Amino acid sequence: MRKRWIVYLAAAMLAGALGGTLLGPAPVGAVAREIVELQQSVNQLIQGQKDMQTALAQNAAVDKTLMEQSMDTVNKLTGTMMALQKTVQDMQANSGARLDTMSTQIQGISDNLQETLARMGKLNQQITDTQNAIQGIDAKLASSAPPPTAAAPGAGAPGIPGAAAAPSGLPPIPGAPSAAGVPSAAAPSADLLYSNGLRDLNGKKYDLATQEFGDYMKFYSTTDLASNAQFYLGEIFFAQQLYDQAIDAYGKVIENYPKSFKLAPAHLKRALALISLGEKTSGVNELRMVVKTYPGTDEERRAKAKLQELGLAS
């Protein structure tokens, strides 16, 4: 029994010695190694922080550069948009005048074509008349020619032997000179006045065009192209912003030439002249009349566009 307690006591003392050894302070070498490792860890953290700060600074510089480039791009786009907006506004302001000019030029081409066709018709008629006259002369000469005899002295024209006088009663050849050999006094050529008027109108030589179309209306007010000449007088006054005179000229087309194909353009341009003169109510009423009376025409489309520009329904 006593031996057993002695064994227990020895074991307890051994265990206490071992425990004291394990729980006691660590050796000096182990502490130094832990301090070195801790310093290394701190240094690594400090270096990582520095690297992160450097990366953040670089990213901030890149972001600043990108921001500046974006601002420059936005400013350029803004300037471009403002320039485009101004261009569109200028185009809208000038579109009416350009459209009027193009319409006048197209009408001039159409009128020149009609004039050419009219001239061809006149030439064909003159050729036919000349041929008929020549045939009539040949027939009369064949039926009334005397038997051949010697020419009597003095029968020919003075200084031209054998030149006989023309037989009496023969129809005159179209275009032949008068008996005195001098053409009779006449008004200026209708074709020349009209073509010169169109040329000077398109060349903006308004004074010359006014005189030429005025002479045309003075001498040829009943021809097929008279309504065109009267309309172009209105165009000249409109281009010069003489709206009172333009309204009067367009009104003469409407009143004096009710079958002219210039009626629709005359109504449209008179409406625009009235609006330009400040008589908006009368002008708008005439625009609506154009829309109602001339559907499917260019004048109808232009009248609708003008009403829409004024913020009114057609």
The pLDDT of 176-198, averaged and rounded, is 66
Under the banding of pLDDT at 50, 70 and 90, the label for residue 101 is low
d(CA 125, CA 285): 46
Under the banding of pLDDT at 50, 70 and 90, the label for residue 137 is low
Per mean pLDDT, which range of 145-149, 275-279, 281-285 is the poorest? 145-149
Residues in the chain, how many? 314
Give the mean pLDDT of the chain. 77
pLDDT, tens only, 244-260 = 999 999 999 999 999 99
Predicted local distance difference test score (pLDDT) of residue 60: 82
Predicted local distance difference test score (pLDDT) of residue 28: 66
d(CA 192, CA 119): 11
- The shares of helix, strand and coil residues in the chain, as percent rounded to the nearest 5, are 75, 0, 25
Per mean pLDDT, which range of 79-93, 171-185, 293-307 is the poorest? 171-185
Burial 250-261 (b: 16+ CB within 10 A, else e): bebbbeebeebe
Does the predicted TM-score (pTM) go above 0.85? no
Predicted local distance difference test score (pLDDT) of residue 32: 81
Look up tokens 């319409």; give the residue.
103
pLDDT, tens only, 148-177 = 444 444 444 444 344 343 434 444 444 333
Inter-residue contact 237 to 245 (CB < 8 Å): yes
**Rounded (10°) CA dihedral 114, 119, 124, 127:** 180
The pLDDT of 13-30, averaged and rounded, is 61
- Residue ranges of domains in the chain: 36-71, 192-314
Name, in order, each residue with C-beta under 8 angstroms of 310's C-beta and a sequence gap of 6 or more. 275, 280, 284
6 pLDDT above the threshold of 80: no
d(CA 241, CA 245): 9
d(CA 127, CA 119): 12
User: End-to-end alpha-carbon separation of the chain, Å?
Assistant: 132
Predicted local distance difference test score (pLDDT) of residue 285: 95
DSSP 201: H
Predicted local distance difference test score (pLDDT) of residue 171: 44
Predicted local distance difference test score (pLDDT) of residue 157: 40
- Percent of the chain residues topping a pLDDT of 90: 38
Determine whether 296 is exposed, middle or buried from the number of CB atoms within 10 Å of its CB (0-12, 13-18, 19+).
exposed
184 pLDDT above the threshold of 90: no
d(CA 268, CA 246): 12
In this structure, which topology does domain 192-314 adopt according to CATH?
Answer: 1.25.40
Inter-residue contact 290 to 303 (CB < 8 Å): yes
Other C-beta atoms lying within 10 Å of the C-beta of residue 284: 19
Q: If we measure between CA atoms, which residue out of 297, 8, 29 comes closest to residue 289?
A: 297
d(CA 209, CA 211): 5
Name, in order, each residue with C-beta under 8 angstroms of 134's C-beta and a sequence gap of 6 or more. 173
Predicted local distance difference test score (pLDDT) of residue 173: 40
Inter-residue contact 233 to 249 (CB < 8 Å): yes
53 pLDDT above the threshold of 60: yes
The pLDDT of 129-145, averaged and rounded, is 58
